[in-house]
Structure 1
């Protein structure tokens, strides 16, 4: 596991001389220390943070003029820009509300899009009108993402879906490394937890071993199509829900496998409108 590397950002190194530890001050690695990951609190200790277990029903709607609130499910995953009235209605109906935004790309239509300076905007994401971000620049991205998390807290979201947190695997325009992504993703988790928000690991299968302790649940797209669903089993083994969707297969094709793995999957349209077919 690579999470021990993060400790070096925060813990002072020590050497033992004659049986006594001597602390030697380490040089800070970034200037905006307020945005460092808090490794000591890697697990969400707040008992109020939502921790779904396998078998949790859910709905995912990120498009459409209005949110269809009629589904009898435990959790709704909707965009952060949805109205307060929609969130309040879902809560009144007894639903958990997860609020979506992209943490790894610039979405030009978001209200805060102009807050991103050119130096952190990279290549266009293949197939989408979004642009990869330089996640190494927490001095710039930190305040922007923190403001989004503050908004999620203000709107009474129960948690967040932070999308595109695997940019190190993409042609981002930046030399992002595995460790850059780990650092950024843990920072997002810690910032969410500080606000009492649950957070799910979106895709990013290669880093599950390192990130499992920091995320309450997982959300995956198309693991069946890529034959990698088994990679998500550590979440279920930790009694954490695995939510997922397939777009191009019939439920009769993928539901038997994901049900056997104790995942909670839907068939959805690519537009992620209200339509859904649940595996269970």
Structure 2
């Protein structure tokens, strides 16, 4: 979700095994090309889509793509697995079994997860340095984060705090995030929507730079691709030049409120690269007709939703 809401991502023949192994190794360290089987939607290809990351849910409509919360989709027996053998049990989600049902009818399933924010209510929350059993015990806006903590100030969403994305600090929590991507891959998600990677312009509680933010976006995309997942660039388009730097690393984009804030043109490099932009503006903050005109002008696959997005309200800018 946006950080301060108005309402609260040709096979080639080779002759030797060594060449194949070398190519596989290289693909683990950089984004894969668009011909390796990932979902890489072009503008208009999945125009009939929906985004629901909170109840109530409405999944009876046969859409080209649904974007749903990873933990809500988790089946019974799900686990987050970490280097060294540690495991965190994941409770059965309210939408357990939905991934299989949607994919059986030909729908692409994108799994939403936070990769740049700590969520106090998630099953893996205690693994983040700085976690406290009571959220009120974690320093918030105006208070210095504790030494060694990667948990910053509130994002504007209940129970959610910015993470310390500085290059020298992210190693303290990166494996927690990668375990979430592993879970998405095991669950059969076609791709992921990684959220809250854009602390710049907000109050994260840490002196995060533009280079920190852009490099973290890039790392998240590469880690998703290494697991065979499609990945979208969520927000971050407000930083000048960031889209041009990152478009080659992502398969699609999902910007919030670009029409409301006059920023839709900044996503143009995605469309020019043949990659879909799933734009969302919110009612009542944005005028539906004005927002849809802005989406259509840029050849975006746009929706008008309420925040947080549920199955209750959806207007397609078709």
Name the TM-score class by shorter chain: 0.7 to 0.9
The equivalences for 1:59-70 within 5 A come to 59-65=50-56, 67-70=57-60
Aligned equivalents of 1:160 and 1:101: distance in 2? Answer: 7
1:133 equivalent in alignment to 2:159: no
Q: Which has the higher strand share?
A: 1
172-181 or 248-257: which moved more? Answer: 248-257
Q: Flag structure 1 segments of 5+ consecutive residues without an equivalent.
A: 1-36
Q: Which runs of 4+ in 1 moved over 6 A?
A: 37-40
1:41 pairs with one of 6, 9, 30: 30
**Alignment correspondent of 2:271:** 236
SS in 2 for 1:41: coil
Tell me, yes or no, if the aligned pair for 1:59 and 1:71 is still in contact at 8 Å.
no
DSSP-derived class of the 1:258 partner: helix
- What stretches of structure 2 of length at least 5 have no aligned partner? 1-25, 74-95, 131-148
2:116 to 104, 119, 129: 104
Are the structure 2 counterparts of residues 157 and 39 from structure 1 closer, same or farther at C-alpha, using a change threshold of 3 Å?
A: closer
- Counterpart residue number, 1:16: none
**Alignment deviations for residues 210-252 of structure 1 (CA, whole Å, 9 cap, x no partner):** 1111000000111111011111111000000000111123432
Deviation per residue, 1:155-194 (Å, 9 max, x gap): 0001100001111332111111111112211111111001
Matches of 1:253 and 1:97 in 2, distance apart?
29
1:166 to 191, 198, 213: 198
CA RMSD of aligned residues (A): 1.9
Structure 2 distance, partners of 1:252, 1:107, is 35
Measure, in 1, the Cα distance between the counterparts of 2:222 and 2:33: 8
- Cα 1:270–1:49 change in 2 (3 A) is same
1:251 matches 2:288:
yes
Pair 1:217-2:252 in alignment: yes
In 2, Cα distance between equivalents of 1:71 and 1:211: 33
Structure 2 partner of 1:278: 316
Contact 1:122-1:172 at 8 Å conserved across structures: yes
The yes-or-no answer on 1:262 pairing with 2:283 is no
Q: Which moved more, 1:164-173 or 1:212-221?
A: 164-173
Could you say if the C-alpha distance between residues 128 and 225 of structure 1 is closer, same or farther in structure 2, counting changes exceeding 3 Å? farther
1:124-156 superposed Cα distances (whole Å, 9 cap, x missing partner): 123543111012323222110110000000100
Count of equivalent residues: 243
Separation of aligned partners in 2, 1:168 and 1:45: 30
SS at match of 1:243: coil
> Which structure has more helix as a fraction of its residues?
1
Counterpart contact for 2:29–2:226, Cα < 8 Å? no
TM-score, reference length from structure 1: 0.82
Matched position secondary structure for 2:224: helix
Partner of 2:140: none
CA contact (8 A) 2:99 2:189 kept: yes
Contact 2:31 2:225 in 1 (8 A): no
Q: Distance in 1 between matches of 2:28 and 2:303?
A: 34
